Structure 1
């Protein structure tokens, strides 16, 4: 990337960081804007941010290292709070289709107390944390790392609080022209991480075959005849 282009991107990123809350971003970006103008601005912003994230991930190797750590772990835990809980749920769902011992950390399935009371050195915690950085996620990551587990941070800035306790930081920009920080590059990064992990996981083919057989036996999905128009 050329230096002038990098300078412009850095300036846009810093400007975006100054608007901390959705209310601030709404006031700065949304008021007195036509829908056509806003749509064009949003599409351009999403494409620009996604391209920047892909370029960074292609060159810094962080995502490939995160996938290697995930494959090597005996147990894999995924955590995120607030909006990041949706990201954590997506990754846990995609990983569990091909890899054993994947657990989503939340109060309905696995609580943080259960997680932190039984951390092993072979465990990995994949934690999602984006501004304004939920306290719970950062504190759980801190204690998980202190107990000997490996933390992978997926966050929006290399200097984000979660990075202090992470063995690997995957930086994913969320700059947007909207009042809400962009989920586009985060979802794409989740897709890449799940795919890279699955590609290196032993037994993935057998696990997929077993899941297909079981889902067919249970009649979980509509038959092709039922979906045909």
Structure 2
């Protein structure tokens, strides 16, 4: 726990002075289409950020290789598009190639990584580099998940229509019966 606390504090201190999160949020807000991707374990971080951003912004797309694949995205990149990439140590080739091709096609990159020397660092319009080190055999997800939350919160706070969109989503979710309601007589047996 001490290692995780220190890692998170170190990352927040670095991010506070770098200005990378507000810079990234501004790029995301200025983009017409917002794509998010990551391979391997990074795909979970991409899915987390996608869920949060899609709640408050329009035109947010997860490149997951199933419902949306890199080839489809790369064949229609516009200068108004942004790709948010999670690229962490051991740096998956697919992610590096996607980022480089997206930038070459005219789009902008926001790269979330663990080193300012990572393969996509020089291609990034905004680089969020954080400490993902851990006492464990695996890199820590703590700082990465925190950055997802910071980035989505800052972006939502600056987005026109974010509050309205959240309210509309909540009302639609309720009318569709998506969430457990303990006051519903039909669901009382489940509480």
Q: For the superposition of Structure 1 and Structure 2, which TM-score range results when normalised by the shorter chain?
A: over 0.9
Q: CA deviation at 1:201?
A: 0.7
Name the counterpart of 1:81: 39
1:128 aligns with one of 77, 86, 92? 86
Q: Does 1:203 align with 2:161?
A: yes
Corresponding residue number in structure 2 for 1:212: 170
Give the distance between the partners of 1:162 and 1:84, measured in 2 at CA: 15
**In structure 2, what is the Cα distance between the partners aligned to 1:58 and 1:179?**
28
Give runs of ≥4 in structure 1 deviating > 2 Å: 224-229
TM-score, structure 2 normalization: 0.95
- Could you tell me which residue of structure 2 aligns to residue 141 of structure 1? 99
Unmatched runs of 5 consecutive residues or more in structure 1: 1-42
Give the deviation of 1:210 after TM superposition: 1.1
**C-alpha offsets along residues 192-219 of structure 1, whole Å, 9 cap, x if unaligned?**
0000000111111111111111111100
What TM-score, normalized by structure 1, do the two folds share?
A: 0.80
- Residue equivalent to 1:151: 109
Which residue among 36, 45, 51 is the counterpart of 2:3? 45
- The DSSP-based 3-state class of the residue aligned with 2:61 is strand
| Number of equivalent positions | 187
Q: CA deviation at 1:95?
A: 0.3
Aligned to 1:90: 48
Q: Residue deviations 1:56-89, cap 9 Å, x none?
A: 1111101110001001100000000000000000
Of Structure 1 and Structure 2, the greater helix share is in 1
2:125 is the counterpart of 1:162: no
Give the CA deviation at 1:103.
Answer: 0.3
Matched residue SS, 1:175: coil
TM-aligned CA deviation for residue 137 of structure 1: 0.4
Structure exhibiting the larger radius of gyration computed from Cα positions: 1
How big is the alpha-carbon RMSD for the aligned residues of Structure 1 and Structure 2? 1.2
Q: Is the counterpart of residue 105 in structure 1 residue 63 in structure 2?
A: yes
Residue 224 of structure 1 deviates from its aligned partner by 3.1
Can you give the 5+ residue segments of structure 2 that lack an aligned partner in the other structure? none
